[in-house]
Amino acid sequence: MSVIHHQKAVLEWISECADLAEGFDAIADRLEHVTDECAHLHIRASVGLTDPLSWCASQVAGRRWYFRSCGGVGAGSEYEVAGIGIACFGDSLRDEAVADLLSLSTRSATCTGPVGFAWSMFDLGTTAVGEWSDFGARRVVIPRIDIRREGGRCSVGLTVCGDVKGALRALAAVRATTTIATAERFALAGDDNPAVWADSMERVLGLIETGVAQKIVLARTRCYEQPTPVDPFSVLVRLRTEEPTAYLSVVEPRAGTAFVMATPERLVRRRGRIIESHAVAGTCGRGPTPEADEQLAARLLRSEKNRREHEITVRHIDDALRPLSTELSWQSQPRVVRLTHVQHLVTEVRGALFEGVDDEAIIEALHPTPAVCGVPASKAMEAIRLCESTPRGLYAGVVGVACGAASDFAVGIRSALIRDSRVMAFAGAGIVEGSDADAEWLETARKLETFDALLRPSSSAQ
């Protein structure tokens, strides 16, 4: 066993265990010898290869957290973490108790100690109310128990924050099983009105024409339902099938309420002081054949409207990161990335952070991006509040994981709010000079096709 002391917290590593059950037993045995009820402690054990998503889905509903990064639209190794319960939480990564625990991972390029699941709403100028009230406007949760997989390595961890007896009870109640319930076939329960969309488009184009804004992103919703309460993990499995290269996440603050996403868009990834961000803006559909895909991609690259929309996002990232970093670089031309239902223009931006710049500063500088809000952000946000009747909540917000050594944050698009037996999915389109209401409506419909998979029988039922 290795032990690391850092400020007020302690990190302990247990030698490799054969499987989850053995890992939980080893952690429980170590915890039996801890007598300090004020201890801030993280005990971690290496275990055999397992599936964090299935494990998390097998736990009792409520306070389950899951995040997978597989590079988004760019290259990068897959990283997956699932957690249950709450050992510690705060409204910011800078909160003292949260920061002290997360600092245990500063000695390597990966999260070897506690990891925080962090999220923030799209519009921090409003409070989290109604269906979004369980999430809070901003939140960081360090789970009590988590399972992590990076490449071919897996580990299980327990975080204790002043409650040793409670941690022992949580370990005794945890399930070592790894199964996912099969989702029923959903029915379409509601869709936005294209006439209302056209009216909003007319209003937004008027603001752009008069110079109030260069770009405004409008969003709409589509609802699905099934007869019984929805398991967010069964929905996520469908999304993983539809978008195998996407960031995946579940945020479940209580049973019956969850946010799920399968987004292609990385906000920022940090490894030590090295950061990478993606400008994802400009969209077209997929073709029925590889040849048609190539033709559509070529048209996307030639599209003045889409290139202008994309350039706005690249400039925003450059302006946001330049005061925070050095060695900032990006590709001279965007590339086209193909997802299951759409193709996007993407530019990758990389740099090295100045000393003292933390994750909160990066997020505050980058979000909301022009890809999900508009330019200037303040005027675009005013228009969104005026034109959209459904609060976005975490749609187009920030969702990710962080520790002292590394972090990974995605933009919450291709996402949905789950409430009991209903799934409300969101999709948006960037409106600039020359945008057409019918074309932008069709773009949102293509993006919602990811969730239309819920209307089909699951593969296990076929």
Known catalytic residues are: 215, 265
- Contact status, residue 412 vs residue 394, Cβ threshold 8 Å: yes
Q: Which amino acid is at 133?
A: S
**Rounded to the nearest 10 degrees, how much is the dihedral formed by the CA atoms of 51, 57, 63, 68?**
40
**How far apart, in Å, are the Cα atoms of 373 and each of 282, 309, 347, 377?**
14, 12, 18, 6
- Contact status, residue 34 vs residue 160, Cβ threshold 8 Å: yes
- Beta strand 153-161 with 325-330 is unpaired
Q: Which amino acid is at 406?
A: A
How far is Cα of residue 439 from the mean position of the Cα atoms in its chain? Answer: 27
- Closest alpha carbon to 88 in 7, 5, 161: 161
The residue to which tokens 């960031």 are assigned: 247
Using omega within 30 degrees of 0 as the cis cutoff, is the peptide bond preceding 290 cis?
A: no
How far is Cα of residue 125 from the mean position of the Cα atoms in its chain? Answer: 20
DSSP letters along 176-188, please? Answer: -----PPPPPPEE
Strand partners, 194: none
